[in-house]
Structure 1
Amino acid sequence: MSRTNPAAAHPTRLVPLADAAEYFHVSVKTLRRRIADGTIAGYRVGRLIRVDLDELTQNLVVTIPSARSV
């Protein structure tokens, strides 16, 4: 019986909170609040907390609707 690693099916780009905050121009505190309210997932690696950049892009980046009607 072979075991498959679910993480191998979806490669993640786990980065420290400080790097993700700089990339998205938000504070580390904002990311910690989003993890606490369930908007994004945080991953503990040892004692460190990491976030997935792809997941942040999906959950934090929001398209602003145009005010013009077509």
Structure 2
Amino acid sequence: MVSLAVAPEKLGVSAKTIRRRISNGTVRGYRVGRLIRVDLNELRKCLIVETPTMR
């Protein structure tokens, strides 16, 4: 579990992208007091999009 400040650095996306995904329900945000934390493993699964290859 990491903060919304650390997650974008680890994954190479913006904090706005992560906040958008939390608000639309794609990613789950966990509230700890006043802070929001995200699970990096869950975030990686949701953000990685496989592109089909032509054969």
What residue is the counterpart of 2:14 in the other structure?
27
Counting matched residue pairs gives: 55
Q: Write the deviation string for residues 10-45 of structure 1: whole angstroms up to 9, x where unpaired.
A: xxxx00011111111111111000000001000000
RMSD: 0.8
The structure 1 segments of at least 4 consecutive aligned residues displaced by more than 6 Å after TM superposition are: none
- The higher-RCO structure (CA 8 Å, 6+ apart) is 2
Q: Secondary structure at the match of 1:18?
A: coil
What residue is the counterpart of 2:34 in the other structure?
47
Q: Write the deviation string for residues 22-70 of structure 1: whole angstroms up to 9, x where unpaired.
A: 111111111000000001000000100000001011111111111x21x
Equivalent residues in 2 for 1:1-70, closer than 5 Å: 14-66=1-53, 68-69=54-55
Could you tell me which runs of 5 or more consecutive residues in structure 1 were left unpaired when the two chains were aligned: 1-13
Identity, % of aligned positions: 58
